[in-house]
Amino acid sequence: MDVVLVINAGSSSLKFQVFGTGGRGRDLNCLVKGQMDGVGTRPRLRAESPDKKPLIDETYAREKVPDLPAATQVTGDWLRSSQNVNLIAVGHRVVHGGPDYSHPVRITADVVAQLERYVSLAPLHQPNNLAPIRALLSRRSELPQVACFDTAFHRGHGPLADYYALPERFYKEGVRRYGFHGLSYEYIAQRLPDVAPDIAKGRVIVAHLGSGASMCALANGHSVESTLGFTALDGLAMGTRPGQLDPGVVLYLIAEKGMSPAAVQDLFYKESGLKGLSGISNDVRELQESSDPKAAFALDYFVYRVGLFAGMLAAALGGLDAFVFTAGIGENSPTMRARIAEKLAWLGVTLDADANAARGPLISKKDSRVAVYVIPTNEELMIARHTLELLSTTRGVQSKLEKA
């Protein structure tokens, strides 16, 4: 069977899914889902079938899997030896596409060189996204690879949403509001016609709430505004990132506190957000279980900020027809959904407690002026779709050239 492998690489983990292309060459179904975590410390490879049947759970010596390229090779070796499949392409999540990439792109050495320019704009993600790409380019240069960008879905924003109030030359250099989590929002936009056809073409706020968190305003299925901007630091407070911040804070930390840019970067990406506010954890589940007042404050802050930004996005849309929860917190925490819904009451949200506890998908009452949904996201499937589509297009063009 022909398959597409989707890779989502983090700092110490390699998440992957294998999608069969189906009999007609364009249908996609997940065959294997897994991850290699503890890379460089306590490597562990786990995978399961779509029906949750374990396929492997194996640990490795640290020197066997010291980095992401090694994790890519070990995972690939297991897939080749255990799964009777024919790998036709690999799709990768790449967080930042910068001003150059507004659509998925076939990966070449030149593309990688371009994407390396945006490492400083996504230091937690971009280097790790590129590591398995380089590894596969060096070992299997003939294997098609496709980069799918978290920024691409937002590239249709108008200039009022796109610009910062800075001299024009900075915009031309790429200093602009990009927005992120685009693969998640694109998937939700494609699911809405099936889940909620009455509001799919309306004014919808989607809240991607996880360790990384943002919100997006959709009008007729297209992104018109996002809480994230130039980097993945803006907007909502996240697990370890601060969210919206006065730029003067950065100047103060450097000029008055004597912090280096590298130290400020570490502070903003690794020590802030829910972790910084609580002093306990970046995990909402742990904060909900804690009796520490600082844990409660961190959660209050998160809920408050979601409510604030919902008002901003509703203003950008000129009203609101629906609100969608997705991602880890949005999909799995009825308590946080209920708390956020209270903040949205002024917009016309009335939550159905029983439906919320049951995870919906519709969790608002029938008389709620704004419908509220829980829709699980699937960034990996979105990447697989883009990869297969680009591969099919490339093959079609090549076939036409050969016939000509």
Q: Would you say 44 and 57 are in contact if contact means Cβ atoms under 8 Å apart?
A: yes
Residue with tokens 């209050």: 300
Per-residue model confidence as pLDDT tens digits over 79-137? 988 988 889 999 999 999 999 899 999 999 999 999 999 998 888 899 999 999 999 99
Question: Which tops the pLDDT comparison, 402 or 370?
Answer: 370
Residue 397 confidence (pLDDT): 40
The residues assigned a catalytic role are: 150
Tell me the C-alpha distance between 365 and 207, whole Å: 19
Per-residue model confidence as pLDDT tens digits over 2-39? 899 999 988 778 999 999 987 544 578 999 999 999 99
Q: Please name the amino acid found at residue 204.
A: V
Per-residue model confidence as pLDDT tens digits over 346-401? 999 999 999 999 998 999 999 999 999 999 999 999 999 999 999 887 665 444 43
* pLDDT greater than 90 at residue 170: yes
Q: Would you say 230 and 165 are in contact if contact means Cβ atoms under 8 Å apart?
A: no
Q: Would you say 34 and 16 are in contact if contact means Cβ atoms under 8 Å apart?
A: yes
Q: How many CB atoms lie within 10 A of CB 250?
A: 15
Residue 13 confidence (pLDDT): 84
| Listed residue (55, 60, 10, 12) closest to 32, CA to CA | 55
**Torsion sign across C-alpha atoms 354, 359, 365, 370:** positive
Tell me the C-alpha distance between 83 and 277, whole Å: 45
Measured between its terminal Cα atoms, the distance across the chain in Å is 31
Q: What is the pTM of this model?
A: 0.92
User: What are the helix and strand counts (H, E) for the chain?
Assistant: 15, 13
Query: Helices 247-255 and 261-270: crossing angle, nearest 10°?
Result: 130
CA 358 to chain CA centroid, Å, is 25
